[in-house]
Structure formats: structure tokens, C-alpha cells
Chains A and B, each alone.
Chain A
Amino acid sequence: GAVVSQHPSRVICKSGTSVKIECRSLDFQATTMFWYRQFPKQSLMLMATSNEGSKATYEQGVEKDKFLINHASLTLSTLTVTSAHPEDSSFYICSATSGFPNSPLHFGNGTRLTVT
């Protein structure tokens, strides 16, 4: 079945550095991708929605200059956490669809980011 690959699964970085997370749809064209952030024992919070070839739409309160999202192709979206700080430590999950909700929404396995 359709699979979304998210990489890396875990990353530890130093404060002030940037980290890039990739989200790939392996066997379908992802016209829309969503990026979520999940705090420990809490729900997923939608950060942004990206459509292929367009600028991402960010949710209120999400800093677009800090969380750079690129959706340059129908199979790849990236989230770059710029100048990371310890408070950015979290579990980031991407999801992708070719036409939600009639087409499924597939989730990646998430990326555990730890900023030291």
C-alpha cells in the first residue's frame, strides 16, 4: 500500500543549528502534505499545510521563518527547523495525500528532535 517515508527518525542537534526533516511519498503523488508537532502525551498540532509548488500555509502562532517548509515536488516535502532551541524539541509528523478525504491521508513515522 501507499507509504510515507519520514527521515530521520531521530535527530539530536545543538542549539543554534538547523535541522532538515524529509517527508516522501513512495508510491503516490502527494499534492498536499501536512506537518504536525506532537508534545509528550499530547495531541498533534497542525503546523502548516503545503501544496506542491505553492507556499505553505501556516497555522496561527507558527513562525514561518523558523519552520521552513518546502514542497518542491509531488513526492517530497521538507521541514527545516532553523536556529533550533531546546523548546523546539518535539516529535514532528508529516502526512501526505493525493486528494483528502476521498483519497487516504498517510502519515510518516515521525521524527524525534532533541535540541541540546
Chain B
Amino acid sequence: AQSVTQLDSQVPVFEEAPVELRCNYSSSVSVYLFWYVQYPNQGLQLLLKYLSGSTLVKGINGFEAEFNKSQTSFHLRKPSVHISDTAEYFCAVRVSGGGADGLTFGKGTHLIIQP
């Protein structure tokens, strides 16, 4: 079974400052990795995903993440945040390959942008 750990439940950052949201995973098999954003009372929107290839993945809204297999991490970064980035961010993992397996989510990190 897979598991995801998001160490920070809440991260306050000043506007235009850089941010990193941490994500570590545990799995005995190869995995795919994802970051999703959730705005209040809404579903999830995909920010980016790592399936294979380059370990540095660029997503929407200026976010990027780097897959580090040796550290089993997939931290999310943005060089300059905006007020509109205030939301809940979820890291998720899924076993690699086909099939109908669902995602396993971390507990989420609430990103709070301060003016």
C-alpha cells in the first residue's frame, strides 16, 4: 500500500515570496505522483503530475515540483506567490501502470498568503 505525508498542515507566506510545500511518499512499487489544489467547497484541480521522464515537472499557475526517488519526495514550489494561491494543496500517489487504482492523498497543506 502507498502512503503520503504532508508534514506541514499550514504554511503562511507573504505575497510575492517563494514557497515550498513538502510531500513525502512511501511505496514498495513504482508510483505516479500528483499535486492538486482545492478551493473552498470545490473539487480538486490538477496542478501537475509526474508519470515518468524528467524529474522536474512544471504545472499550471507557475507551480513546479521535483521528483526525488532517493528521498521519496515530491515537493511543490512556486517562486512568487499571489493572494489567489490561498487554497488547500494535496499531494497524491498512485501505483504506476494501468488499471483502475484510485489516488492516495496526503492530509493537505493549507497555503495562506499574507499581503
Contacts and interface: CB of A to CB of B under 8 A. Distances in A.
A107 interface: yes
Nearest to A35: B102
A25 interface: no
A105 B92 CA distance: 12
Contact of B103 (A46, A104, A110): A46
Nearest to A108: B43
A112 to B, nearest CB: 7
Interface residues of A, number: 28
A43 B46 contact: no
Contacts of B43: 4, 6, 93, 95, 107-110
A44 B90 contact: yes
Contacts of A34: 102-103
Interface of A: 4, 6, 9, 32, 34, 36, 41-46, 49, 51, 57, 91, 93, 95, 100-102, 104-105, 107-110, 112
